[in-house]
Amino acid sequence: MALSRAFLWMAIGSLAGLVALWLVLAFSPVWVSGAERIMIALGIAVAYGVGGSACAAGRQRGKHARLMMSGIIAGGLAATGWMAALIVYDLTDQFPARVLWALLAPSGWLVLMMYLAALSGANVRRRWVVWTMRAAMLVASLLVASTVLFVGLYVEFEQRDVRYGLRREVAELGWKIGGVLGVLTSLSMLIVALAALLPRLEHEGTPESERLRVRLTCPRCGTGQTIRSDGDACARCRLRIKVTPT
């Protein structure tokens, strides 16, 4: 089984368990011992399953393989850390700021690698789109960094009993910066996704007589398939392939 599918099934199984537990708690008189901790643990497993699946899929496409692997490792460390913190600390207590800082960093890196994996799935060669993808990664990096910074600062200020006004100002500033960066990140991803569709739209205007279908093996992943001669992408790794008849 491919690594991406293993992570995906992990996320699906955890989500199914989360829904089943919620139904039991909502409609059954039977109370499950430690239900809150179990639900949080399943939520962590869902998040890591989705993130690991995205990074593994990006690695299988041959795009940023080392970065994708670093995302999987960071996600594993983050998930292990959250689970350990869940066991050690009571839900009614606040996590120490040093623990939160340690867990936010790898969690943020996993999110950033998920975003990179999503962008790497778009097969684009136009220069302006390439620069848009680079700008998108820069904005996404700033979004993740600012989220980690402001959440960590707010919790640390709260634990140090810093005056409420300062904590509120930090929270408001974090929301404003995060909101702007979030909109820019979403917009840039939408632009890249639309740009990736342009070659397909161009193919639709090509006469059917000139769109030959060729049976070949992908030079990157070795998958046998039939593609269109005027330009197509591998069904598995999304490598762009074009065959010129002679």
pLDDT range class, residue 226, cuts 50, 70, 90: confident
- The pLDDT value given to residue 93: 59
Instruction: Give the position of tokens 């949080």.
Output: 40
Average pLDDT estimate for 236-242? 74
pLDDT higher than threshold 90 for residue 77: yes
Report how far residue 231's alpha carbon sits from residue 204's, in angstroms, rounded to the nearest whole number.
11
- The pLDDT value given to residue 200: 55
| Lowest model confidence (mean pLDDT) among 110-114, 159-163, 207-211 | 207-211
- The pLDDT value given to residue 234: 78
pLDDT higher than threshold 90 for residue 13: yes
The highest-confidence range among 173-177, 191-195, 235-239, 242-246, by mean pLDDT, is 173-177
Average pLDDT estimate for 78-93? 79
Average pLDDT estimate for 116-128? 76
pLDDT higher than threshold 80 for residue 121: no
170 touches 153 (CB < 8 A)? yes
Domain boundaries, the chain: 1-121, 122-202, 211-241
pLDDT digits 0-9 by tens, 36-71: 888 889 999 999 999 999 899 888 887 788 889 999
Average pLDDT estimate for 131-143? 86
Q: Is the dihedral of CA 161, 163, 165, 166 positive or negative?
A: negative
How high is the mean pLDDT of the chain? 81
| Lowest model confidence (mean pLDDT) among 75-84, 99-108, 191-200 | 191-200
pLDDT digits 0-9 by tens, 96-107: 777 888 888 899
- The pLDDT value given to residue 12: 93
| More confident site: 83 or 219 | 83
| More confident site: 228 or 191 | 191
- pTM higher than 0.85 for the full model? no
- The pLDDT value given to residue 212: 67
